[in-house]
Amino acid sequence: MVIEVVQQDITLLDVDAIVNAANTSLLGGGGVDGAIHRAAGPQLRQHCRRLGGCPTGGARITPGFRLPARWIIHTVGPVWRGGDYGEAALLESCYRNSFRLALEKQLGSIAFPAISTGAYGYPGEQAARIAVAVMKQHELRFQRIIACCFSSADVDLYRTITR
């Protein structure tokens, strides 16, 4: 059982990479994006400015700067628009592309927030099922895969799905 479900502020996790639920500008925002930029410090935004943004479903990797995590993988989740606009496929590609970048750097541990389920309005259970399905497909490739929840409701949801 390598998928860990925790309730924690993802900026505090001492792992190889934390994943950020970013927007296409990569220049910061609210929610977990805001927390990560605040904790990583101003160098993160300066670094991201040179990346030229990121499309929805895509992912980019940066150093963690002042974070305990060595790397940050920024991925842009889909905005929920009812489910008929390819949202599920885009959310799945967020997880797949994040894992791909982590594998390229041969990272051993990675933590994900519940991408798109905050400001972007993705229904929590549907998003968690997509997340866990991709995590399970990568279980053998990492020492630690962490679903970093911010609410106890999400912890319950992820624990039920990963059981």
Q: How far is the CB of 41 from ligand APR (least distance, A)?
A: 15
Query: Distance of CA 5 to CAs 20, 127, 138, Å?
Result: 17, 15, 15
User: Exposed, middle or buried, 96 (CB in 10 Å: 0-12/13-18/19+)?
Assistant: middle
Cβ proximity to ligand APR: between 22 and 73 the closer is 22
- Of 10 and 145, nearer to ligand APR (C-beta) is 10
Q: 114 or 134: whose CB is closer to ligand APR? A: 114
CB 105 within 8 A of CB 12: no
| Residue 30 Cβ vs ligand APR, minimum distance, rounded to whole Å | 4
List contacts with ligand APR (CB under 6 A). 9-11, 21-23, 29-35, 77, 113-120, 148, 150, 154
Copy the structure tokens of residue 124: 């929590």
* 147: CB partners within 8 A, 6+ apart: 3, 4, 5, 6, 111, 112, 114, 128, 131, 132, 135, 158, 162
What's the closest the beta carbon of residue 80 comes to ligand APR, in angstroms? 9
Output 40 or 114, the one with its CB closest to ligand APR. Answer: 114
The distance of closest approach from Cβ of residue 150 to ligand APR in the complex, given in angstroms and rounded to an integer, is 4
